[in-house]
Amino acid sequence: METDSLFYRLFSEKPKVLFELLGEKAPKATYTFGSYEIKQTSLRADGILLPQSIKSPIAFVEAQGYLDRKNEVYPSFFAKIFMYLRDQTPVNDWRAVMLFTQRKFDPGLPIHYQDFLVTGRLQVVYLDELPAAIADQSLEVSLIQLFSMKKPLAFERAKAILEQAQTENSDAIEQKRILEWIVTVFVHKFPKLSREEIKTMLGTKAELKKTRFYQEIQEEEREATMMIAIPMLLEAGVVAEEIGRKFSISVEQVKAIAKQNKAKKK
C-alpha cells in the first residue's frame, strides 16, 4: 500500500519517531530503518529498526491504513518477525509495533498472539486516538497523525504544523521538507486534488511568500537564474550596466558572477 511506503519513508528519515509515537523517551542507541527479504518466501519485513547496540531491542513495525477483511495482518506480521529471527539469529531482544491509522481498521488480535499483547512485547497504536501529549510531542508525530484525519481536520492540522515549523525551525530546507511531506501525504490521501489545489487549500501560495524560508528559496532560484543568464547576456553584447539594472545588482556583482561562471568552466 502507498500509505505504508509513506510511513516507512518517514521512519527512514527519523527512526526515533517510533518511540515518540509510543510515548516513550527516545533511546540513546542509534537506530537505522530498513526492509528485509524473507528467504524462500513472498514475505518482506518492510519495517525494521535495527539498533547499533546489542543491548537495545530490534523494533518490528507494521502500518495499516485499510480494513483487512481476511484478518491476515497479525499472522503475516508475526510470520515475518519469526522468519527474520530464524534467518538472522540476532543477539538483541525484540519488540513489535502495529500502527493503524484508525481503530476501525484493526480486525482484532487472534487468540494465538494474545500473550504478546499481555507481556507488552506487542504494542498497538491507533493514530486517531493518540493522546494529545503524544500528538503534540514533535512535528514528525503530527505528520504521521495526518493519515488518520478527515479532510477539514487534516488541512487545519497541517496549517498548524506549518506554523509550528516556521516558529521552531529556522532551517529553510527542513521547513520545505515538512511542506513537501504534507503535500505528498495529501496527494495520496486525497487523490482527486492536485498538488496546486492542495497548496492553495493549505494557504501556502499567499502565506509562504511572507515566510523566511520561502524568501530564501526564491533568492536561491534568482541567483541560479543570474548565474545562467548573465554570462549569456554578456556574450550577446549587453553591457554590464544594463544587466545590473535588469537584475537590480551592481556592475561589480555582474562582473563577479561572470568571473565565477568562467572559473566553473575551467
What's the pTM?
0.62
What pLDDT, on a 0 to 100 scale, did the predictor assign at position 131?
81
The set of residues, in sequence order, having a beta carbon less than 8 Å from that of 251 and lying 6+ positions away, is 240, 241, 244
Which stretches of 70-202 are assigned E, i.e. beta strand? Answer: 94-100, 122-126
Sequence spans of domains, the chain: 1-147, 149-204, 213-265
pLDDT string in tens for the chain (266-residue length): 455 667 777 788 888 888 888 888 878 888 888 766 655 444 555 688 999 899 999 999 998 888 888 889 999 999 999 989 998 999 999 999 999 989 999 999 999 999 999 999 999 999 888 887 776 777 788 888 888 888 888 888 888 888 877 777 667 777 777 887 888 788 778 878 877 788 788 876 545 555 554 555 566 667 878 888 888 888 888 888 988 888 888 988 888 888 887 776 65
Please tell me the predicted confidence (pLDDT) of residue 1.
Answer: 42
- Strand-pair category, 94-100 with 122-126: parallel
Q: In what order do the strands lie in the sheet with 31-37?
A: 31-37, 44-51, 58-64, 94-100, 122-126
Contact 234, 243 (CB under 8 A): yes
The pLDDT assigned to 212 comes to 54
Max Cα distance, the chain (Å): 81
